[in-house]
Amino acid sequence: MVQIGKKINRRVGYVDDGKPKPLYTRYHRDTVQRDLIDQGYYVDIETSEPVLPGYHRTRDNYATGELPEPTDDIEQLRSDLETFGFCLVADALTPEQLDTFRARVDEQARAERRLRLAGFTSASPDGIPTNQFLIALANKGCCFADAIEFSERSVARGELLDQLTTEMLGRDFICNSAAAAIAGPNGTPQALHCGQSMIPKPWPPWPYECFVGFLLDDFSEQNGGTLVIPRSHRILTECGNDPVPPLPPTANVTGPAGSALIMDGRLVHGTGANFTDALRRLIILTFHKPFIRQQEQWGLTLRPDVYANASDKLKARLGFRAWHGGLGGFEGHGEGAVAPLRDDWNAVGELSDESAEEDGAGYTIHAARHAHSAAEFERMRAAGHLLATQDDD
């Protein structure tokens, strides 16, 4: 998640002030993300308005048919990824698989709200959260573990997704994070960013990271389908060490529920603002090359029961298997060794409408999150926001 939680009053990107920079100091903080902030692709914390006016409103930015549309033709998908930086895989989920993911996301989200374990993001103009984020999905249902593996048991187009991700990242790519985003009405757009924003410039002409998202609802301009800047992946590579130049207009990803969205890790993107009165749900899986540190430390947070039942492929994809040269090894166990699981962290697992209130207190994250989650939830309920009030029905 990229959130700009402070007031910005000056440029944050690299500015050559003529002063000497010891060794490679200037490159440490010379990042694409800082250039995007300087261009205004974020919401001002005081006004709740985009600093770059209207970057979240995309109507008429592109002609109908100009951007990628859902398809299962692998050559077209490859072309879309190379040209635009994203593609849409048609019918990635069967109707039955889609129903399973929807039910599991909804039930888990309800339980995390009720037990005051929920994480909330975005905000309405009055500063009250509108969106919910579910994290570490590998712990929260077999269908999510299957999705990380691209198992056709839960993902009909799993083989195709695995093939395209392998072509983007190479063999042995690992799961950086697995989450679900539920965008409620009246929120603000996310700060635009790239999946590999942690990589300093210059970027090579290929990605370090790949985003795979499963649309659980129809995505449209009106409900804030993922914001993207088409072709930005190439522009960010071509600018080298120079500041990012002005970028093309934004677009909302549009497509039917059950489609899969794949994005090059260099593509500028972010959660769109939902202008409807319904929720919009997206499963977000990010993968990257196996030598990069993961956002989710699965070796700590994966639940023991999930680890015990995990396939070799899932363990490798979550980063438990040491890679080339022994990266990710432990006490001399090198390439190919599978690390054990730490057992001193009790992560939130699969919850349901029957999960008892006292169960929530047993999770390690409870102490840090409960009070804040409870306070934010009550603010949302008092303001009549959909994510909070629908549980009262």
Q: 101: which 2 tokens?
A: 């993911």
Q: Is the peptide bond before 290 cis (omega within 30 degrees of 0)?
A: no
Q: In this structure, are residues 230 and 160 in contact, taking their beta carbons and an 8 Å threshold?
A: no
Query: CA 302 to CA 328: how far, in whole Å?
Result: 16
Q: In this structure, are residues 283 and 101 in contact, taking their beta carbons and an 8 Å threshold?
A: yes
- Which DSSP state fits 50? B
Per-residue pLDDT of the chain (393 residues; tens, 9 = 90+): 566 777 887 788 877 788 888 888 878 778 999 999 999 999 998 888 999 999 999 999 999 999 999 999 999 999 999 999 999 999 999 999 999 999 999 999 999 999 999 999 887 878 889 999 999 999 999 999 999 999 999 999 999 999 999 999 999 999 999 999 999 999 999 999 999 998 999 999 999 999 999 999 999 999 999 999 999 999 999 999 999 999 999 999 999 999 999 999 999 999 999 999 999 999 999 999 999 999 999 999 999 999 999 999 999 999 999 998 888 888 888 888 999 898 888 889 999 999 988 778 888 887 778 888 888 889 888 888 888 888 776
Can you list the domains of the chain with their CATH numbers?
25-392 (2.60.120.620)
Q: In this structure, are residues 84 and 263 in contact, taking their beta carbons and an 8 Å threshold?
A: no
For 93-208, strand residue ranges (E) read: 119-121, 131-134, 174-183
